[in-house]
Amino acid sequence: MFTAFLPKADEQGRFDEWMSLQVAAGSTHITFSPFAAYNVDGVPYMEPFNWLDQPQRFADLVRRVSEYQGANSKAVTPVLFLDDGGPDPLPRINRYWDAIADELRKSGVIDRCIVVPAWEPVDGDWTSAELSYGLKSVRLFFPESIMGCHFSPTRWVGSSNPTEPDDPWQGGESDFYKSYGGQFIDIAFYQAPADAVFTPVCDYNDESCWLSRWYDGVIRLGTGYHGWRIVNVCLSEGPAYSFIRNQSTPEQARAWATAGKALADSLGVTVSFMNGLPY
């Protein structure tokens, strides 16, 4: 299951089924969104939905998620991706985010959430300037929440490359986490290439190995190497793309996560996971 579509599953009366399966698999956090335009043929629940103009309904779903007991016997943490990463985000940010935050606050769960501006905003359909606006808006509307930032495959920063004229960081990579909204990021959600799940163990010294880019980010954000700001790191994506298309297995996802953990452990960095738990 792709839990971004939890609201769609809830519409189909499958909320408890999804939550119980997630917890049984070891989950302590649940990632989902108030809307998604994504679609995968042949997957019944993966049809576009939009709850952006129903903030009270979405906040109620967040509350129900946070009332579940996770695999660690603590309350499940909701991880909210506010936007699907589509183009022209500023009108959506300005119209909907404040109301969503207000309803989460009324429901008493805003301080239980990790809030992320969007899926794959850069290098995707958002400019770096739009991501900067989104990060600052999360801080403005959700100051009680932990803030995460998600990236396109193999990227660790939201600054542009090649440099966009209005990029506030002007391509600066370590600068991204220190200014223009990036200083508020608590967790970096890293996305490995989708095919990494098929070759989980490889030599990180080889640039063709998916662990090479994973190493680059973990040593920088995990240890402050070369003056980078230390930020929590999550090995967030990799197997999902193939798994929801019945092309990979849970065992492969766990082997992938295990390889990522082993490399992080070798650097003395504790990381978290979103697309499979290590063995």
Decide: 117 and 149 in contact? Cβ < 8 Å: yes
Which amino acid appears at position 72 of this protein? Answer: N
pTM equals: 0.96
**CA separation for the pair 193, 52 (Å, rounded):** 30
Decide: 82 and 133 in contact? Cβ < 8 Å: no
Q: Is the pLDDT of residue 262 over 90?
A: yes
3-state secondary structure of 131: helix
pLDDT tens, position by position, 205-246 = 999 999 999 999 999 999 999 999 999 999 999 999 999 889
3-state secondary structure of 69: strand
**Close Cβ partners of 49 (under 8 Å, ≥ 6 residues apart):** 5, 7, 8, 11, 35, 36
Give, for 245, the enclosing helix (H) or strand (E).
none
pLDDT tens, position by position, 4-53 = 999 999 999 999 999 999 999 999 999 999 998 887 777 778 888 999 99
Mean pLDDT of 247-272: 97
Which amino acid appears at position 40 of this protein? Answer: V
**CA separation for the pair 161, 157 (Å, rounded):** 10
Any idea which of 42-56, 108-122, 198-212 has the lowest mean pLDDT?
42-56
Which amino acid appears at position 55 of this protein? Answer: P
What are the C-alpha distances in Å from 133 to residues 13, 89, 158, 180, 205?
A: 36, 10, 12, 8, 36
pLDDT tens, position by position, 143-189 = 999 999 999 999 999 999 999 999 999 999 999 999 999 999 999 99
Cβ–Cβ contacts within 10 Å for residue 67, how many? 12
> Average per-residue pLDDT in the chain?
96
Q: Is the pLDDT of residue 108 over 90?
A: yes
pLDDT of residue 47: 85
**CA separation for the pair 98, 105 (Å, rounded):** 10
**CA separation for the pair 97, 130 (Å, rounded):** 15
**CA separation for the pair 158, 131 (Å, rounded):** 7
pLDDT of residue 39: 79
pLDDT of residue 41: 79
